[in-house]
Amino acid sequence: MDSPCHPEEREARRLLAWYDLNARRLPWRSPPGTPPPEPYRVWLSEVMLQQTTTAAVAPYFARFIDRWPTIGELAAADEADVMAAWAGLGYYSRARNLVAAARFVARRGGFPNSEAGLRELPGVGAYIAAAVAAIAFGRRAVVVDANVERVVSRLFAIAEPLPAARKAIRTATDSITPAESSGDFAQAMMDLGATICTPRAPRCLLCPLAPDCAARAEGDPARYPVKAAKKTKPLRRGRALWIARNGAVWLVRRDGETLLGGMRALPGDGWSAQADGEGTPPGDWRDGGTVRHGFTHFDLELTVLVAPEDATPEGAGEWWPIDRLGEAGLPTVFAKAARRALT
């Protein structure tokens, strides 16, 4: 039985005891109660995990650590190599910021150890700064990712719809975050949301916070967090050109100022916000089919046009061996288009 203490202290103590026994074993973590992992590993994993699942991130993290085992080696890497290694993870601005932040840290001589200092790194916002400060440096920080957001909204039955509810969720999370073991506490909250307090069919009977959970007391914890109605994403259309000869395909680099900037890609019309994808280049081009891909703010329908044998590429680019296309680091949408052209 719990000894008398404030409810907030009781919740933290129950959660940390649960985490000691149930912590997920992840390559960027240290086990509960052991010295913290290197800041580089924590920061790298948190950047990769933004809007990406743990299962998807794990192999990328392993490859990055194998190729660039220290922040200094990542800082010295060619940005194009990092972008290619990132291909498939999506949200490619993260990869550009990764290189910029690594160079910032290398010039500084090490990671800042406070939230304010970490916020100075390119691409590091409030969440990553708090996570690195807590997990790598043992600082008390309020760490709120999507899993924590779900746990806390249920624990306190916060009925205001997202995203407006985030201020109340942060305040509630702050109220239960302990001064000690804040890194383990943050990771325990993440694990609880990932394995027990899941979006659908939460496993309340196994939850260490169930005795104090207001949503469970109401009888319908899965209704939290309350979400505003989704807006329909606009559909853009565009074209990707497959120009091949002698076992190689013509690839270009996308403009650094555009979406997927700096990445190798099939040439095309750029599918800007106004692009309608109509028309074909002059010559006997073959319709290679259509692929569809979802981005954060829009969906893309990309028509693949296969060039006649005498087609001549325009502008800067490179011939890439088709049998090594998997090494080109094509973003997912262009990898889909290439597969379509090859079928």
| Catalytic residue set | 46
**Residues 154, 223 contacting (CB under 8 angstroms):** no
Q: List, in sequence order, every residue forming a beta bridge with 237; answer none if it has no partner.
A: 301
**Residues 36, 135 contacting (CB under 8 angstroms):** yes
Q: List, in sequence order, every residue forming a beta bridge with 115; answer none if it has no partner.
A: none
**Residues 291, 304 contacting (CB under 8 angstroms):** yes
**Residues 116, 104 contacting (CB under 8 angstroms):** no
Tally of CA atoms within 13 A in the half-sphere of 203 that contains its CB: 10
**Residues 204, 216 contacting (CB under 8 angstroms):** yes
Strands 248-253 and 244-245: antiparallel
**Residues 46, 128 contacting (CB under 8 angstroms):** yes
